[in-house]
Amino acid sequence: MRQSRKGALYLLLAAALLAGYFLNLEKSREQGNEEFPAVDRIRAQEQADVGEIEQELLKREQEEAAESTRETASREQEEKPMDKQSLRKRLGAAVIVGDSVTEGFLDYEFLESDCVIAEKGLRADSAGEEIQKALDLSPTQLFLSIGLNDLEYCRGDSERFVRYYRQRILEIREEYPDLPIYINGILPILPEAVEKKAELGQAEAYNEALRRMCEELELTFIDSGDLLEGKEEWYQKDAIHLKSQFYPLWLNRMEETAGL
**Sequence ranges of the domains in the chain:** 2-79, 84-258
Per-residue pLDDT of the chain (260 residues; tens, 9 = 90+): 444 555 555 555 555 555 555 555 455 555 554 455 555 666 666 565 666 776 777 777 766 655 554 454 444 444 555 566 666 777 788 999 999 999 999 999 999 989 999 999 999 999 999 999 999 999 999 999 999 999 999 988 999 999 999 999 999 999 999 999 999 999 999 999 999 999 999 999 999 999 999 999 999 999 999 999 999 999 999 999 999 999 999 999 999 998 87
Nearest CA to 46 among 5, 4, 15? 15
CA 55, chain centre distance (Å): 26
All residues at 6 or more sequence positions from 118 whose CB lies less than 8 Å from its CB, including other chains = 96, 97, 98, 99, 100, 102, 103, 105, 106, 130
Helix, strand, coil share (%) of the chain residues, nearest 5: 65, 10, 30
Distance (Å, whole) CA 245 – CA 138: 29
Query: Beta strand pairing status for 116-118 and 142-145?
Result: unpaired
Distance (Å, whole) CA 124 – CA 99: 10
The CATH H-level superfamily of 84-258 is: SGNH hydrolase (3.40.50.1110)
pTM score, whole prediction: 0.69
E strands, 134-210, in order: 142-145, 181-184
Q: What is the DSSP letter of 215?
A: H
